[in-house]
Amino acid sequence: MTTVEDTPRVAERGLPVGGVQRKRGAALEQAILQAAFDELSRVGYTAFSVEAVAARARTGKASIYRRWATKQDLVWDALTAVLPSPADCGLVERIPDSVTTVQALYDIARTIASVITSPAGDVIRTIKCEAASDPELAKLVDERFQAPRRAAMLALLRRGVERGEVRPDAATQLVADVLPAVLSHRVIMLRERLGEREIRQIMEQVVIPLVEAR
């Protein structure tokens, strides 16, 4: 007979506790990642706790720590599971020759706009705001989130230089930050809807004049 003292061991084996079948393996990992994202959405990064995630996922903290050594690792894997990768945004290593730099930038702008106006975008914005007063978190945000996307954008601009579509002095990290920064500003600070018209205005008035070869 299962006693109260046996309950943690029973849960670890994935056996029913209180009539509920516990998840295991990949199903448990997915449940933990979803619980982590839900908790981030509710309380933000500062108040985020592994204990709360464990409760949401109906598992123990030990199950989480066996898979993720730190809170930061869990947070970023949860975000990675819902946020598009640089490649999903159109920032791929090899772009077909038929696609111009401007066309690629339009596609990237549309994807970024859809992300930052989504629930996942709400979470990453909250984390970025909290990073303003947390240097360690700020470093993590840049290393795990912004740096890979900046590098991919820079590679796109360098490709444009090789094709004669982008000015050589526009292929810089500073310029690579401009498009996502402008899009984020319009949503976060100005509460603006980012439809096709707004994206076209940003591209035609800011991005294209900034990068195009003259």
pLDDT tens string 116-167: 888 888 888 888 888 888 888 888 888 888 888 899 999 999 999 999 999 9
pLDDT, tens only, 33-55:
999 999 998 998 889 999 999 99
Instruction: Please choose, from the candidates 49, 46, 50, the residue with its C-alpha nearest in 3D space to the C-alpha of residue 59.
Output: 50
Domain that includes residue 112, residue range = 84-211
115 & 44 share domain:
no
| Confidence category of residue 182, pLDDT binned at 50, 70, 90 | very high
175 & 203 share domain:
yes
What are the angstrom distances between the C-alpha of 104 and each of 91, 97, 101, 201? 8, 11, 5, 16
Q: What is the pLDDT of residue 11?
A: 39
Q: What is the CATH number of the domain that holds 165?
A: 1.10.357.10
Domain end call among 81, 111, 141: 81
Distance CA 202, CA 193 (A): 13
Q: What is the pLDDT of residue 24?
A: 73
pLDDT, tens only, 13-36:
443 444 444 677 889 999 999 999
111 & 24 share domain:
no
Q: What is the pLDDT of residue 90?
A: 67
88 & 68 share domain:
no
> Tokens 């978190």 sit at which residue?
137
pTM of the predicted structure, to 2 decimals? 0.74
Domain end call among 81, 100, 123: 81
Distance in Å from the first CA to the final CA of the chain: 80
Domain count, the chain: 2
Tell me: pLDDT of 6 over 60.
Answer: no
| Confidence category of residue 3, pLDDT binned at 50, 70, 90 | very low
174 & 123 share domain:
yes
> Tokens 């702008």 sit at which residue?
109
Structural Rg of the chain based on CA atoms:
21
pLDDT > 90: percent of the chain: 50
119 & 180 share domain:
yes
pLDDT, tens only, 51-96:
999 999 999 999 999 999 999 889 989 988 887 777 776 677 688 9
Distance CA 34, CA 30 (A): 6
Q: What is the pLDDT of residue 9?
A: 39
Tell me: pLDDT of 7 over 70.
Answer: no
Q: What is the pLDDT of residue 18?
A: 43
Q: What is the pLDDT of residue 19?
A: 41
pLDDT, tens only, 196-214:
999 999 999 999 999 999 8
Distance CA 38, CA 120 (A): 10
Q: What is the pLDDT of residue 22?
A: 64
11 & 93 share domain:
no
Q: What is the CATH number of the domain that holds 52?
A: 1.10.10.60
Answer yes or no: are the C-beta atoms of 31 and 59 closer than 8 Å: yes
Tokens of 115: 């992300």
Q: What is the pLDDT of residue 132?
A: 85
94 & 196 share domain:
yes
